[in-house]
Chains A and B, each alone.
Chain A
Amino acid sequence: MRTRKIISIIILLILAGGFILTFSQIPFGKDKINVAHYYISKGIEETGAVNIVTSVVLNYRGFDTLGEVTVLFIAAIGLGAVLFTEKRVQKHASKSKDDKTKKASLILRTGSNLLFPLILLFGAYIFVHGHLTPGGGFQGGAVIASGFLLMYLAFPKQSINKKSLSVVESLSGLIFVGIGLFGLIFSGYFLSNFLPKGIPNTLFSAGIIPIIYIAVGFKVGFELTSVIDDLLGRGK
């Protein structure tokens, strides 16, 4: 074991040397912006979104985000496939026998009842204003998923209907790809922003961005919930 440690330390030192050398070539904080100038200067009038990061994420580099959503989708499906067990049905039955699983404490149950709608509201706010304020579909989805996690903690016995989760997931995914395909049909470019841009800094602006972000928000929220559910091993 000792030799392994020594070797790995030597390797890491060499890697550190490599890092130092390459980082010295990339001065920290200097203005290295090159292609990004285009986004910054013409970002607003081309995409209509005030939040340039969102315009980059969805319009200029929308394909990445599509890939991104697919990765999450794969993770959820993969998790379902790997943790899929027929036994789950028996576990469900065995659970009813020994009912000793501790019920959550009163404070947790009432608190979560109160907080759950607020969390959902806050999450919805984040992904609806994706193109105006920092944050977007992914961050809003994560907040929603944390709400559902809270409910899982509060009510150990209940679990969400997996069927509906997967339907919402695939529907929102379809919306995203559908918009892309519509873009292809209308303006000849996949994922092009064919809807009217509207006035920047207002809610209904930046063409397809809010729609996509809403779809992504739902998708990420429910996907992370199904991931949590699979990991807890409770859902049907």
Chain B
Amino acid sequence: MQLITILVVSFLGAGIVYLTGKFSGRVRDISAVLVSLAVVILVGLAYNQKIYTNFYSLPFLNLSLSLRLNYLSWFFAIIVAGIGFLSILFSLEYIKDYQGVGFYYFMMLFVNAGMLGIVLSADFLSFYIFWEMMSWGTYLLISYKGGKAVAAGLKYIIMSVAGSLAMLFAIVSLYASYGTLKFSSLASLLQIASPGYILFLLLMFVVGFGVKNAIWTLHTWLPDAHAEAVSPFSAVLTGVLVRMGMYGFLLIMYSIVGLSLLHKLGYGLLNFNYILCWIGAITIVIPTFTALLQNDSKRLLAWHGIGQGGYMVLGIGVATSLGIAGGILHTLNYAVCGALLFFVVGAIEHRTGGVRDLNELGGLIKRMPVTFIAGLAGISGLIGVPLTNSFVSKWMIYKTLIMENYPFLAFAAFIGTWGTILSVYKFLHNIFLGQLPEKYKDVKEVPLTMQIPMILLSLAIILFGILPGIPLKVISGIEKSFGVEPLSTTMFGMPKEIGELNLINILAVLLVAGIVVYLIFSLSAKSRRVNQDDNYAAGLFVPRGKYQYSARFYDQAYRIIGPYLHDVVDDFYYWLVGKSKSSFQIVRQIYTGNINTYALYILLFLTLLIFVKLGWGL
């Protein structure tokens, strides 16, 4: 019963918020925050319960829609609810002066509800229904700002519809051959299916979920969608919505097809998992280095979203308990870091009047310190600096890759990290460090409602960085539900037999070393504070306002890497659309407008029928 209340609260909540929006803005904002908070609490309360309810039946297809809760769905549900709540909180101030704000809040809550529906559904039909509702909800929200966002929204929805239709094809073929769509019963039924059929199913589902999770060849919609969507929504989009694809991968690969069956697919090196790992590896390397070349901050983060998605796919592709745990943990970690970074960009946009171009910003650390700290935490989370949450998940992925003897995949992951460091530092440097331009002299810090989400997420990064045991306990529960032998971890690191990782020791040592160095630093001679214009310019006069190096930050690297990173896949899709458009033009010419030709068509049809009959004796 509890699951239905969650869904009902979130869907009706969206409706109520829209209605209150008609009366007064204040009431709408408060009710939106309350609804999302209620959802978080409800999901939180339903922690380790096993619930299974049928909530609706379609007699004519003798199908019934049902919901269930286990560790996997609870894990994703809490991420969805949490990030949703924080983005609503963040957008209170951010969306104030946009038009159609009621529509925005309704759509945000509606998409959140859709995602909760996906995560809680227990059979493929309700899964597909909520999936589609989420997709077209996202489409409306992406193109919410108008202008270039319209093209981005269209690109997104076309690819998402194509993906979900592939998924529908697989779901209905499952239903046609097994008569039921329940995950539990399907899991047992599929054991006896022929490998070819399972491979076909997996292929279709990989296409469906790959489009959402933006694996390499299906990623082209993501940069435009993230860059053009409203910042709070792109936080939700990159953090959580894209990870529905990951939930789908986990669902189909482990809770339905199951580990043992996966290994039987394919022979030797050419099995399904290995190919998936390589796709994950490519998804790490190419997008991360394309992020290097971007000048628009949101587009840079979007490319990182794709890159980090590669880590998750790599993690679960390896199919060892450590790998799966690493992949799932990285989903949580990136959800936190990605959302935080988009909040930071949103804050910058809010204060500097919508400027996203990295070459125009600079020196904002002096005016917006809290945002800077959040940004620093975010990028260190993204890189995986020790004592941040991504470090633990990346460590697990590397450990399992090396132990399973896949050194080249490990290399791709490492190089991905270094690519992230370079591009993410460029992001931080061009926005916060360097000279503060004239026009941002009086920029104030973002209001409190925007700071709280940022601070909370930064704390989460550090907390999970130091005490990874909290999420890992849930993840070991998930692995038990998958039938994989669960990963036993201590609260702050890895036990002896898995590997040497003790985060508390690292923390302690870092603190001690930090204090010692700080003592040395403060004991030595004092230094006087100078402002940014009092700077070394090799004897020349410091040119005001132009003394900033941010354009073409890694110039030499561009020249070497640049040519290889041209997005070939995107060109292929545009070529495809162009070709189909011209073929549609030819097809249109059938209707020539001349009566005689139309009469000719009718008689041709008749003679075809008769001729086929006489000739063939149908």
Cβ contact within 8 Å between A4 and B607: no
Indicate whether B603 reaches chain A with its CB closer than 8 angstroms.
yes
**Interface-centre pick from B600, B604, B607, B614 (highest chain A CB count, 10 A):** B607
The reply to whether A15 and B607 form a contact with Cβ atoms under 8 Å apart is yes
Please tell me if the beta carbons of B600 and A15 are within 8 angstroms of each other in the complex.
no
- Docked complex Cα distance between A18 and B614 (Å): 9
Q: Does A11 contact B (CB under 8 A)?
A: yes
- Is A121 an interface position by the 8 A CB rule? no
A176–chain B nearest beta-carbon distance, Å: 35
A74 in contact (CB, < 8 A): no
Q: Is A195 an interface residue (CB 8 A)?
A: no
Q: What B residues does A14 contact at CB under 8 A? A: 607, 610-611
Dominant secondary structure at the B interface: helix
Q: Is the CB of B610 within 8 A of A8?
A: no
Residue of A nearest to B597 (CB): A4
**With A14-B611, A17-B614 known to touch, is A4 a contact of B596 (CB < 8 Å)?**
yes
CB neighbors of B among A1-52 (8 A): 4, 7-8, 11-12, 14-15, 17-18, 21
Q: Does B606 lie at the interface of the complex (its beta carbon under 8 Å from any beta carbon of A)?
A: yes
Query: How many Å lie between the Cα of A7 and that of B600 in the bound state?
Result: 9
Residues of chain A with a CB closer than 8 A to B600's CB: 4, 7-8, 11
CA A21 to CA B614, docked complex, whole Å: 10
**Chain A residues in 8 Å Cβ range of B603:** 8, 11-12, 15
Select one of B596, B604, B610 contacting A18, CB under 8 A: B610
Q: Which residues of chain A come closer than 8 Å to B614, judged between CB atoms?
A: 17-18, 21
Tell me, rounded to whole Å, the shortest Cβ–Cβ distance linking A16 to chain B.
Answer: 11
Tally A residues with Cβ within 8 Å of B.
Answer: 10
- Nearest A residue to B610 via CB reads A18
How many residues does chain B have at the interface if contact means C-beta atoms less than 8 Å apart? 9
CB distance from A10 to the nearest CB of B (A): 8
Contacts of B282-302 to chain A: CB distance below 8 A? none
Q: How many A-B residue pairs have CB under 8 A?
A: 22
> Cα distance A15–B600 when bound, in Å?
13
Contacts of A4 in B (CB 8 A): 596, 600
On whether the beta carbons of A11 and B604 are closer than 8 Å, the reply is: yes
Q: Would you list which residues of chain B between 603 and 618 have a CB under 8 Å from chain A?
A: 603-604, 606-607, 610-611, 614
What 0/1 pattern do residues 104 to 129 of B give for CB contact below 8 A with A? 00000000000000000000000000
A226 to B611 CA separation, bound complex (whole angstroms): 46
What's the least CB distance linking A161 to chain B, in Å? 38
Would you list which residues of chain A between 156 and 170 have a CB under 8 Å from chain B? Answer: none
Chain B residue contacts of A18, Cβ below 8 A: 610, 614
A11 to B608, CA, bound (A): 9
Across the interface, name the chain B residue whose C-beta is closest to A21.
B614
Contacts of B606 in A (CB 8 A): 15
A8 to B601, CA, bound (A): 11
Residue of B nearest to A1 (CB): B596
A11 touches B596 (CB 8 A): no
Q: What residues of chain A lie closer than 8 Å to B596, measured between beta carbons? A: 4
Contacts of A8 in B (CB 8 A): 600, 603
A18, B609: Cα distance in complex, Å: 11
| Complex-state Cα separation, A21 to B613, whole angstroms | 12
Name the residue on B nearest A14 (C-beta): B607
Say how far B505's CB is from chain A's closest CB, in angstroms. 89
- Complex CA gap A143/B614 in Å reads 47
Bound form: Cα–Cα A18–B610 in Å: 7
Least Cβ distance of B102 to chain A in Å? Answer: 46
Question: Nearest CB to that of A22 among chain B residues?
Answer: B610
B607 surroundings in chain A (CB, below 8 A)? 11, 14-15
0/1 string, A198-234, CB within 8 A of B gives 1: 0000000000000000000000000000000000000
A11 — which chain B residues lie within 8 A by C-beta? 600, 603-604, 607
- Min CB distance B594 to A, Å, is 10
The interface residues of chain B lying within 8 Å CB-to-CB of A7 are: 600
Distance in angstroms between the alpha carbons of A87 and B202 in the assembled complex: 71
**Chain B residues, CB < 8 A from A21:** 614
Question: How many Å lie between the Cα of A183 and that of B600 in the bound state?
Answer: 47
Once bound together, how far apart are the Cα atoms of A12 and B603, in whole Å? 9
Least Cβ–Cβ distance between A191 and chain B, in angstroms: 36
Q: Within the assembled complex, what's the spacing in Å between the Cα atoms of A4 and B599?
A: 11
Task: Give the CA-CA distance A12 to B600 in the complex, in Å.
Answer: 11
Assembled-state Cα–Cα distance A8/B596 (Å): 10
- Give the complex CA separation of A27 and B600 in angstroms: 31
Please report the C-alpha to C-alpha distance between residue A14 and residue B605 in the assembled complex, in whole angstroms: 12
Q: Distance (Å) between the CB of B451 and the closest chain A CB?
A: 70
Complex CA gap A151/B614 in Å reads 56
Q: How far is the CB of A86 from the nearest CB of chain B, in Å?
A: 30
CA distance A71 to B63 in the complex (A): 48
A14 to B604: give the CA distance in the assembly, Å: 10
Chain A nearest CB: distance from B607 CB in Å? Answer: 5
Residue of A7, A12, A17, A18 most packed against chain B (CB within 10 A)? A18
In the A-B complex, the 8 residue pairs with the smallest Cβ-Cβ separation, listed nearest first, are A14-B607, A18-B610, A11-B603, A11-B607, A14-B611, A14-B610, A15-B607, A11-B604
Contacts A/B (CB < 8 Å), 22 sampled = A4-B596, A4-B600, A7-B600, A8-B600, A8-B603, A11-B600, A11-B603, A11-B604, A11-B607, A12-B603, A14-B607, A14-B610, A14-B611, A15-B603, A15-B606, A15-B607, A15-B610, A17-B610, A17-B614, A18-B610, A18-B614, A21-B614
Instruction: Enumerate chain A interface residues (CB-CB to B < 8 A).
Output: 4, 7-8, 11-12, 14-15, 17-18, 21
Beyond A11-B603, A12-B603, list 13 extra A-B contacts (CB 8 Å). Answer: A4-B600, A8-B600, A8-B603, A11-B604, A11-B607, A14-B611, A15-B606, A15-B607, A15-B610, A17-B610, A17-B614, A18-B610, A21-B614
